[in-house]
Structure 1
Amino acid sequence: MLTSHFMPKLLTGACMLGSVLLIGNACAATSINLSYNGAPDPEKNAVHVFATNLKELVEEKTNDAIKLQLFPNSMLGGEEERMEQTMNTPMLNIASFAGVSPLADEIFVSAIPFLFEDFDAARTFFDEGDYWLALSDTLQDRAGIDMLAVVEEGGFLAFTNSERPISHPDDFKGLRFRAMDPSQVALYESFGASGTPIPWTETYMALRTGVANGQMNPPMYIALASLYEVQDYLTLANIQYSDQFLVGNSAMIAGWDDELRSAFMEAVNEANQNAREANESQVDSRIAYLEEQGMEVIRPSEEDLEAFRTVGQPAYLAWLAERGIGQNWIDMALEDADMGEFND
């Protein structure tokens, strides 16, 4: 359900109706803002790598009819503020769950833990599944925002902790974990641990001082935040697919002619494929780096992974139900995940 903070404002004037091409003398601007989180550092921010590649490809494929202006580090505002701007002005944004969920809470269904066996399964889910198509249509209908791409930001989440190797849900008992949101609290509690929401900026110190024993993130973020200095064990359990979402103002995109829109989407798809290939190619080297820094890497057996799924998924599904998300959304997603996982 939309909050009042996110209710669309009435768009006025030809420029606000979408086209960045010539619409009268007053609307000749060809520049579109692209906002996103994180530093403009290719070594530290996979989303920035995607954004810079997208800029190059859009300008190349549209013959500079569209030029992107990049605004990293949340320069245009926080998650909700940037989504409101995307609703009401011709712009693009790379949003996290925090940006999309106030408009389409059903997006949390895509983060059901242990849903995907590997990258191929996750990509099939988002590229071909009925759930994601329905979610995209819902976002457009409610907010006037097009879902353009699912952007990988570092692989699958892994568990880390400073107390003992974790290879099975029973190994969590008695531990304290940093949680990103209430859904992670529910997951940890299902394993017999406790979870406390702690901001990312405070996570290193919380782990260092023992406020929390562990956390979960992709290997890329574990390395970039130097969490290996305060965490001894890394469990590769493919918990959740780590992603953000490229979105754009629907009226803007609808206002382009077919040729321009096709060229733009070709650039989006190519940039996304490039990002996927680059991300997957670095997963093993990132894990190897963490091993070199002294972390013990645990690779759970198939039996143990199934135990994680059996215990953890029901807790997350119960959390979704508490948020009032309909069972039809969950059923669609679970069916699509089976399609992605087993359609080899």
Structure 2
Amino acid sequence: MKRSTLFGLILALVLAIPGSALAATTIKMSYNGPPSDKDNAVHYFASKFKKLVEKSTDGQVEIKLFPNSQLGNEEQRMEQVMSGPVINVASYGGLQTVFPEMFATNIPFLFDSYKAAHIFFDGSEFMKKAKKELRSRTGIAFLDVIEEGGFLAFTSNSPIHSPADFKGLKFRAMDASQVAMYEAFGASGTPIPWTEVYLALKTGVADGQMNPPTYIIMGSLYEVQKHLTLANVQYSDQFLLMNGELLDSFTPAQQKAIKESAAKANAETREFVESQVDARVKFLESKGMTSYTPTAEEYAEFKKLGSPSYINWLKDQVDSSWIDLAIKDARKANAEGAK
């Protein structure tokens, strides 16, 4: 029996029990990072989302939070949201095996501002197509894109003001796409799990890495890195996913409440994240890091080298039409965001 068929039977049995409704069922919600509003924007979002959903449905829909990847790693949690009645917040790593097309939204230097990223993820043609395709391919309902920490910055033990400063260095990469970008800058990239990044930087296995300020603080990387380059490399986000059959099982009013709660919680999370960026940079400076913001010319040089290398890598993973659409919609969003 297919898992989707089994899930449907379980759902029907629950609804058939006199006086019961799936709407009163507690739903598990899994995500990465600690249960700290201050240190983990995804938890901040999840807490807001939980309260909003429960309030707007008069307690008929309850959300139980499972931070720190308690329900499994990225791949395991993607399997769960495809096969069972759960909600999952996934990273690009989680989507990689089932929907690599999403990597087109992570092209380095794609967005000029937070506003442009919001415009893109809230209503672009790319996102409309992505949500439809993910549902068709996996059965997953794609609810929202959560801002988790602002834009990514480079850290290193030597000053980095332009791509030329990468020459000969070894950088920790999250995936093959970052390896391609570092190589375009003249550095080497080595995939290293987040849990091993601190030690790798401390022992010289890697000379640097990139993450938003919140993760640099969370990982105490300021203890083993001297320089912070605020190059706005990539927009830091994760993806709110829900089992499609579960979402469809709710009444139209409850479905609306869930979607509106996600949008409202995300708006509050964006405001929180963006209000904290400057303070977090100052905190890193207080810990001994030297921060640097590239000039317009230096930023253009980063983009000129970094974007094509990533795109060439991605063309081997997905159909080029997805990449073209992401770039087209990002340009529109950048133009609108600059108004």
Same fold, judged at TM 0.5 (above): yes
| Shift of residue 100, structure 1, vs aligned partner | 1.4
Taking the aligned partners of 1:107 and 1:13, their CA distance within structure 2 comes to: 27
- Give the number of equivalent residue pairs: 335
1:52 aligns with 2:47: yes
1:129 aligns with 2:136: no
Q: 1:85 aligns with which of 80, 94, 105?
A: 80
1:310 aligns with 2:310: no
The residue number in structure 2 matching 1:173 is 167
Query: What is the identity, as a one-letter code, of the residue corresponding to 1:82?
Result: R
| Shift of residue 14, structure 1, vs aligned partner | 5.0
Deviations 1:35-76 (A, max 9, x none): 111111222211111111111110000111100011111111
Taking the aligned partners of 1:16 and 1:155, their CA distance within structure 2 comes to: 40
The residue number in structure 2 matching 1:297 is 291
Taking the aligned partners of 1:232 and 1:14, their CA distance within structure 2 comes to: 54
Q: Answer whether contact 1:234 1:297 (CA < 8 A) is retained.
A: yes
1:329 aligns with 2:322: yes
| Identity value in percent | 49
The residue number in structure 1 matching 2:157 is 162
**Superposition map of 1:89-128 within 5 A:** 89-128=84-123
The residue number in structure 2 matching 1:267 is 261
The residue number in structure 2 matching 1:5 is none
Q: 2:223 aligns with which of 229, 232, 242?
A: 229
- Relative to structure 1, the CA distance from residue 19 to residue 301 in structure 2 (aligned partners, 3 Å threshold; closer, same or farther) is farther
Query: What is the identity, as a one-letter code, of the residue corresponding to 2:300?
Result: E
SS at match of 2:5: coil
**Superposition map of 1:66-85 within 5 A:** 66-85=61-80
The residue number in structure 1 matching 2:33 is 38
| Shift of residue 167, structure 1, vs aligned partner | 1.3
The residue number in structure 2 matching 1:195 is 189
Deviations 1:309-344 (A, max 9, x none): 111111001100122x11110110001110111112
Q: Answer whether contact 1:18 1:251 (CA < 8 A) is retained.
A: no
Taking the aligned partners of 2:59 and 2:193, their CA distance within structure 1 comes to: 40
| Shift of residue 18, structure 1, vs aligned partner | 8.1
Q: Answer whether contact 2:150 2:212 (CA < 8 A) is retained.
A: yes
- Relative to structure 1, the CA distance from residue 104 to residue 14 in structure 2 (aligned partners, 3 Å threshold; closer, same or farther) is closer
| Shift of residue 199, structure 1, vs aligned partner | 1.2
The residue number in structure 2 matching 1:338 is 331
Taking the aligned partners of 1:121 and 1:18, their CA distance within structure 2 comes to: 43
| Shift of residue 83, structure 1, vs aligned partner | 1.4
Deviations 1:82-110 (A, max 9, x none): 11111121211111112112111101111
Query: What is the identity, as a one-letter code, of the residue corresponding to 2:40?
Result: N
SS at match of 1:74: coil
Unaligned residue ranges in structure 2 (runs of 5+):
none
Query: What is the identity, as a one-letter code, of the residue corresponding to 2:319?
Result: G
Deviations 1:226-272 (A, max 9, x none): 11111111001110011111100111112222111111211111111
SS at match of 1:11: helix
| Shift of residue 79, structure 1, vs aligned partner | 1.2
* More divergent stretch after superposition (85-94 vs 307-316): 85-94
| Shift of residue 217, structure 1, vs aligned partner | 0.3
More helix by share: 2
Query: What is the identity, as a one-letter code, of the residue corresponding to 2:125?
Result: D
- Relative to structure 1, the CA distance from residue 103 to residue 299 in structure 2 (aligned partners, 3 Å threshold; closer, same or farther) is same
* More divergent stretch after superposition (9-18 vs 86-95): 9-18
SS at match of 1:12: helix
| Shift of residue 9, structure 1, vs aligned partner | 2.2
Q: Answer whether contact 1:85 1:91 (CA < 8 A) is retained.
A: yes
| Shift of residue 27, structure 1, vs aligned partner | 5.4
The residue number in structure 2 matching 1:4 is none
| Shift of residue 136, structure 1, vs aligned partner | 1.1
Query: What is the identity, as a one-letter code, of the residue corresponding to 1:228?
Result: Y
